A and B are shown apart, each in its own frame.
Chain A
Amino acid sequence: MSTILNKSSLNFLLQHPWQLALAIVGIALGVAVVISIDLAMESSLTAFDQAGKAFSGTATHRIIASEGGLDEKLYTQLRVGQGIKKLSPVVSGYVQLAKQTNNSFKLIGIDPFIEKSFKPVWQQEQSKNQRAALLARLVVEPNTVLISDKTARSLHLKINDEFTIVSDSGKQDLKIIGFLQANNAISEQVLAKLIITDIATAQEVLGLFGRLSSIEVLMDNYEPETLTKILKLLPGSALFVSVDSQSQSMREMTRAFSINLKALGLLSLLVGMFLIYNTMTFLVMQRRRLIGCLRSIGITRRQIFKLIIGEAFLLAIIGTLIGIALGIALGQSLLYMVSETINAIYFRVDATSLIIRPAQIGKGVFLGIAATLVAVLPPAWEATRFPPATVLIRSGLESSTRQLVSGAKLTGFILIAGGLALALSSAQSVSWGLAGIFIIVFGFALLTPAFTLGLVQMTDKLFGRFLGIAGRLPVRTISSEISRTGIAVAALMIAVSATIGMELMIGSLRQTVTEWVQASLAADLYVTLPGEKIIGGRAIEEHQLKKRLADLPDVQMLSSALHTKLIANDEFTKVSVFELNPQSRKGFIFKDKVNDDLWDRFEQQQTVMVTEPYAYYHAIRIGQEILLQTDKGKQPFEVIAVYADYSGDQGHLSMSRQNYQRYWPDLGYSGIGVYARKHTDLKQLENQLYKLLTGQQSVKSDKDIYKASMEVFEQTFTVTETLRWLSAAVAFVGVLSTLMALQFERTRQLGILRAIGLTRRQLTFLVIGETGLMGLIAGLFAIPVGYVVAYVLIFVVYERSFGWTMAFHFDPMVVYQGLALAFIAAVLAGIFPALKMARIKPAEALRIE
């Protein structure tokens, strides 16, 4: 490539710093959003994976149990009786700092004398003598722990300092005797949320006497003998799983959630692509004369093409690098939101900071560069079509643009139809459903120029006289520069329609969830009994508490729930065990008509009811049987009803307490519903109840629970909310960039207007009027598009992702907000170019050809 040619290209780019900067911002934002979502999602899952690795080391398998854990005798049977060597017993649970109750840690009790081949992190202490001494102290001195030096620093603690934690069993002072050494960034993050201690201390602190949380197993290769021995002794409430499959199923569980988030990331990138396309088109059009000259002196089409692609590549690299840095920063804040959501609807993750992996970065780099190059192909190709040394008239270009507009319109219709078909026929696949939405939105984006043209021409006709000639100018500009304005409007439309669509969807879900929560809350007061459910002491105390509650004079009746897990299809399945009363039975919203004998069958026969997501995921219908693992082998339970539940997307079963106690051990209660007699002072009753409670137990009114539920709901959508605003930001940059380009091209025309006698202020209004009108058009068009998006989200994607059905709830506010958003964004984006144009001296403007 010729150096002078490149220099001319570079000089040209540098003469348009704003355009360059905005294009780079566009790429950077798109890449940043994609990367940050990926990083945040992966980090929370990796934290979960790696936290396991920190204490189980190289363990390949794991014996896990539901609530209540494993009997510690199982370990002795396997280790002493069967002679299985590579086993590691673990007792774990969550504790909070007494001083910062929102700061929770996973307390992990291990046996320091396990096989060294596990290589857990706590064995990787500096020198072997120090390590041995530390481990011995863990055993010998009760309540001694190891924590990461990072955590110690953040809590201002040193070796031999004590700190107080709160667990289900109360407060306890723990003494730090050593630090866990992180050997890399990932383990540093993971260790920051762990407290390692001896198994005896863990049982004492957590009150889990006699129980193990899991037994880690290391099987070198395929060891059928070991496997047989373990399976022979495995109790009905326990599962033997491979560590890989566990982490796999965890990823599987969050897949739908993850896909939804990633789709939002891609949306930003898509909007970013519009921006890049726009900028590069501008930079090519600006040079049509230059390119014509170059062609006339013998530069080939191929060279021109390379030149443009090269420029784009340069922009892509700069934009991508900035995007990566930005994405990492953004990812950190997303991480909190993502982990909160995962905590709320899936499982407990403790992600503290971002774990950056080359794979994710690489993906971002690839997407950034690929998106840029794809977006730049049309203008690059267009550049090669410029005939040598011809001065082209803008209008000539525009008339060919008009052909393009009608072509785009046709393609748009085809895409919308295709996208709808894809979404509706996508069966269980969330990805295809979302792809359908993308195609639909893209199709609408292609319709945007035609829609814009139609609308401005109508405006001109209907309101032209009213607007006056100066007022007609912005209207005319939009239609005459449709190749440019159309894209800006489309980008803005995509962002706004996504906003409207998601807002409508969230609104519908909110409405549905509100109704559901309100229906479910039948009792007057709820006593919550948190903590690990275990056989024995605590369960007995809970029974006593329940009896005392029932004996209170103001209490008419009680209901109770125990949330635990049972094994169905070799998987843990959440099960709610209910003791219901006529009042609480009304809290179920059934998806099908149910018979009158439902409740009798629920109590008397071996039956279960399933939630809607459960039925959806497992393709279970009423009348089918679910096999549940018990100590007496697998037992069939007939499904007698499907009911609404929005508490998670994996779904669960519910069964009567009678049924449960026939096969499984008593684990006490998770919560007790209290129904007061008529005319009871609830406040007073609450105080009475409160006096009966101990430790972490608490009493909440139905209003408290409703409020808390809705808070969780809103929190679940904070990620979505944030991402939506980010794509709106990209769109904003897109509009800004387009307007700048547009105004720049019209500098001379604006100079003439100034020469004729337009004041600066009038010029400013003229430009802002133009952009405001574009925003309004984008907003108007976004309403039906957003409606379609909401429809597909509600009836296709969310039903498939989470198994939730909901009613479409239309909130006109959402439409107004969308319209306002588009208009305000466009007006704001117009201010800068307007001021810039007004500042240009007409004398200079006139000199520009």
Chain B
Amino acid sequence: MQAEAAIIITELSKSYHESGLRHDIFKELNLSVNRGEFIVLLGRSGSGKSTFLNLISGIDCPDKGKIIINNTNITGLSEHDRTLFRRHHIGFVFQSYNLIPTLTVAENLLLPLELIRRITQKERDNVTELLAKLNLADRLDSYPDRLSGGEQQRVAIARALIHDPDVILADEPTGNLDLDTGQQVLELLDILVRKAGKTMIMVTHSQEVIGKADRVFSIKNKSLVIS
């Protein structure tokens, strides 16, 4: 594990327009995240936490500035290349799980893999194994809407990790869950992400998570401030 930077953000600016007026979300924001580092992001609703995650994942584009992940400047990539980059290097966990309702649990997990390469039997076995680890062995062929929230979020975390990405982005993963279930999910993330040495940026309000973070930031005045 080296202390080199996994993510370098320089002079990042983002704004949106509404009724002809420009509202800045970030202005010349800088951040460097080390490989394996666990960052927690705090902030009021609408302060731009989700936008920040979207920018890092390449789902959204900044107005100005650079985002370099694993030595790749994703702001310089085309939309297509950004998608391919995301496919390989980013894992996403959403507050509302966002599983594909028309695919079974197993299929949901295999989809990211399939996008990268032909699925091998070994990978199928891995999925089964992983689900077993998550205590979901019996839900392999269930559709997401038959699962409880905690179960769905566990599947979502599995999906974010299945293709072995470098960076995990989690947007309030426990936001829709009760305390106990949230606890389980966080533990899972801790085990699967931190132990595997992956870089993670998480938006959360959970005090417990904040305690486990390497660094905690909050968005204030269009920039990141260490809390």
Contacts and interface: CB of A to CB of B under 8 A. Distances in A.
Tell whether any CB of A sits under 8 Å from a CB of B in the complex.
yes
Given A470-B111, A843-B51, A843-B54, A754 B83 contact: yes
Given A470-B111, A470-B115, A758-B115, A752 B59 contact: no
B87 to A, nearest CB: 3
B63 to A, nearest CB: 14
Contact of B102 (A468, A480, A846): A480
A8 to B, nearest CB: 20
Contacts of A748: 98
A756 B86 CA distance: 7
B92 interface: yes
A475 to B, nearest CB: 9
Interface in B86-111: 86-88, 90, 92, 94, 98, 100-103, 107, 110-111
B129 interface: no
Contacts of A694: none
Interface in B29-63: 51, 54, 57, 59-60
Given A841-B60, A842-B59, A759 B92 contact: no
B4 interface: no
Contact of B114 (A395, A470, A755, A843): A470
A757 B103 contact: no
Contacts of B102: 473, 476-477, 480
B14 to A, nearest CB: 11
A312 B19 CA distance: 31
Interface string A552-587: 000000000000000000000000000000000000
B80 interface: yes
Interface in A468-493: 468-470, 472-473, 476-477, 480
B84 interface: yes
Nearest to A477: B102
B101 A395 contact: yes
Nearest to B169: A755
A752 B114 contact: no
A459 to B, nearest CB: 14
B83 A759 contact: yes
B175 interface: no
B145 interface: yes
A752 to B, nearest CB: 5
B11 interface: no
A473 B100 contact: yes
Nearest to A841: B60
Nearest to B165: A757
A818 to B, nearest CB: 29
Contact of B87 (A469, A476, A757): A757
A701 B83 CA distance: 71
B187 interface: no
Give the most central of B84, B98, B119, B143: most A CB within 10 Å: B98
Given A469-B110, A470-B114, A470-B115, A760 B103 contact: no
Nearest to B81: A759
A527 B87 CA distance: 80
A748 B112 CA distance: 17
Given A843-B54, A843-B60, A846-B59, A757 B112 contact: yes
B59 A843 contact: yes
Using C-beta atoms within 8 Å of the partner chain, give the interface range for chain A: 20 to 34
B83 A760 contact: yes
Contacts of A759: 80, 83-84
A749 interface: yes
A470 B59 CA distance: 20
B111 A469 contact: yes
Contacts of B83: 754, 757-760
B79 interface: yes
A394 B144 CA distance: 12
Nearest to B83: A759
A472 B107 contact: yes
A749 B111 contact: no
A843 B51 CA distance: 8
A753 B92 contact: no
Contact of B115 (A476, A480, A756): A756
A80 interface: no
A549 B160 CA distance: 95
A480 B114 CA distance: 22
A297 interface: no
A755 B103 contact: no
Given A393-B145, A846-B59, A757 B80 contact: no
Contacts of B79: 760
A760 B87 CA distance: 13
Given A757-B86, A757-B115, A760-B80, A469 B103 contact: yes
B185 to A, nearest CB: 18
B103 A473 contact: yes
Interface in A745-775: 748-749, 752-762
A789 to B, nearest CB: 34
B145 A469 contact: no
A395 B107 contact: no
A129 B19 CA distance: 74
A760 B59 CA distance: 12
B57 A755 contact: yes
A556 B76 CA distance: 92
Nearest to A468: B114
Nearest to B96: A849
A480 B100 CA distance: 12
Interface in B58-87: 59-60, 79-80, 83-84, 86-87
Given A469-B114, A749-B101, A760-B80, A754 B107 contact: no
A757 to B, nearest CB: 3
Nearest to B107: A469
Give the most central of B51, B87, B100, B116: most A CB within 10 Å: B100
A742 to B, nearest CB: 12
Nearest to A762: B115
A395 B145 contact: yes
Interface in A201-227: none
B59 A755 contact: yes
Nearest to B118: A468
A760 B88 CA distance: 16
B112 A756 contact: yes
Nearest to A845: B59
B47 to A, nearest CB: 15
Contacts of A762: 115
B103 A476 contact: yes
A472 B104 CA distance: 11
Interface in A819-849: 841-843, 846
Contacts of B54: 842-843, 846
Given A470-B114, A759-B83, A843-B54, A394 B101 contact: yes
A261 to B, nearest CB: 44
Contacts of A470: 111, 114-115
Contacts of A753: 100
Give the most central of A755, A756, A762, A842: most B CB within 10 Å: A756
A756 B111 contact: yes
A625 to B, nearest CB: 73
A277 to B, nearest CB: 24
B200 to A, nearest CB: 16
A689 B91 CA distance: 91
B97 to A, nearest CB: 10
Interface string A617-638: 0000000000000000000000
Given A755-B86, A757-B90, A757-B116, 19 more contacts: A395-B143, A395-B145, A468-B119, A473-B103, A476-B102, A755-B92, A755-B98, A756-B86, A756-B111, A758-B115, A759-B84, A760-B79, A762-B115, A842-B54, A843-B51, A843-B54, A843-B59, A846-B59, A846-B94
Interface of A: 393-395, 468-470, 472-473, 476-477, 480, 748-749, 752-762, 841-843, 846
12 contacts: A395-B145, A480-B102, A749-B100, A752-B100, A755-B98, A756-B86, A757-B86, A757-B87, A757-B88, A757-B90, A761-B80, A842-B60
* 6 A-B pairs with the lowest CB-CB distances in the bound complex, closest first: A757-B87, A476-B102, A843-B60, A752-B98, A842-B59, A843-B54
